[in-house]
Structure 1
Amino acid sequence: MAPRGRTPALPASPEERETAVTETTVLIVDDLPLQRSGFRMLLESNTDTSVVGEASHGAEAVRLAAALKPDVVLMDIRMPGMDGIEATRRIVESGGRSRVLVLTTFDLDAYVYAALRAGASGFLLKDALPQDLISGIRAVASGDAVVAPALTKRLLDAYIDSAPTTPDAETDVDERLAVLTDREREVMEAVARGLTNREIAEQLVLSESTIKTHVSKILTKIDARDRVHAVIIAYETGLVSSGRTGRG
């Protein structure tokens, strides 16, 4: 009889096989055992997320990320020894497959900005609803980026305040945006304002799949690693400014 699955370990039903194949692996990084335990319970209660390890500080996170190669590293920022920002930088610079989703609190805007520059693919508040955390992990694992709505404007405003405005930067702007079509610039501007693909589709009267295709092409053309990086480039190039950070 021909084998029913890719390997003998895979479940027999097509639905179960699909779930097994698309399972998202997560490394939890937090210095508080109770916090790690809570995240583990939540993630393991879902059939499409699996915890492959836990780390209590940044150095351990870097080591385990290299060894376990999780899809997503759920990263705390403030930890003893190596903090989450440096750990994020090292994980991203290693060139591995793991993407970092940072968890923060309202009083850590400066740290969030630093983690953004270090290469994090998303930011959520520690008091996020369970379904929002799961959705954020899925989004980051799929190559998207996520930023908690409550942080978006403050984060972008913080970036605007420190963004370079030198003539060299302005020259670089034209070169980066020149590769985009008018429609792609429009979509990129909407992304920079924090709109989701669905919201952009409604605004431009296009299908969500069309917007997703535009975003994918934009990231490739401007050499951005994800949506968060695209937002940085949008502000660096002057495509959007502090007076246009609102949603809509």
Structure 2
Amino acid sequence: MAKTVLVTGASAGIGKATAILLAQNGYHVYGAARRTEKMEGLKAYGITPVTLDVTNDDSISACIEQIFREAGSIDILVNNAGFGSYGAIEDVTMQDAKYQLEVNVFGAMRLSQLVLPKMRQNSYGKIINISSVGGKIAFPFGGWYHASKFAIEALSDAMRQEVKQFGIDVMVIEPGGTKSEWGNIAVESLMRVSGGTAYQKMATAVQKTFTNMAGNLPEPVVIAELIKESIEAESPKTRYTGGYMAKPMLFLRNILSDRMMERLIMSQLK
């Protein structure tokens, strides 16, 4: 019997690519997002679109209840919904900072809370949390985004140890750069928040770096394939890494001191 998968943030980028790839490989896929009109095309792959706002608990509960009602359970949860709020720590409002964490952290954990009881009952489940290279390395102007991804890393590690006894696996995916709306949203946020402040010069350099990098980014299916690999592994790894510069950056993070890593990062912002 086909496993039922819920992929959040399925209207674009990694989420959309993952929903399509899994549907093409025999999974019963629900794609969830706020922008349901952007998921109409997923129906052609046999994917069921469902409305989900990960910052609204009623919306989260309604999404899970619909899938339970229609499919009986959720065997695999891919917590992909997220975005990057960029700007200097000094400049980002607390309201925006809290929203970043609501979307990237609390939404994912609330969904996990709601799918775990049936996973325990079935003695089977997979929770895949989409982190980032930015869950291990912090770059200037991404402070609140990185805080959210560092949190996902820690929460995933804790949850993995808690639920392994019930036959449930928790995996982390750490993408580097991929083609998606993410970069444009992050740059727009950066320039809106810090483009006219004391951080303007550095913000402009970061904007230039994002622009130069854009042409080298792989398609999001590269990360979708990693997610599929993690789901189908008999003994899954705790972390899967892929995308532009992901493995080299994490390697350098492991061997360089904090000061050396920071000098390397700042050398790219000229």
Q: Give the structure, 1 or 2, with the largest relative contact order (CA under 8 Å, sep 6 or more).
A: 2
- Could you state the TM-score of these two structures normalised by the residue count of structure 2? 0.27
- Could you state the TM-score of these two structures normalised by the residue count of structure 1? 0.28
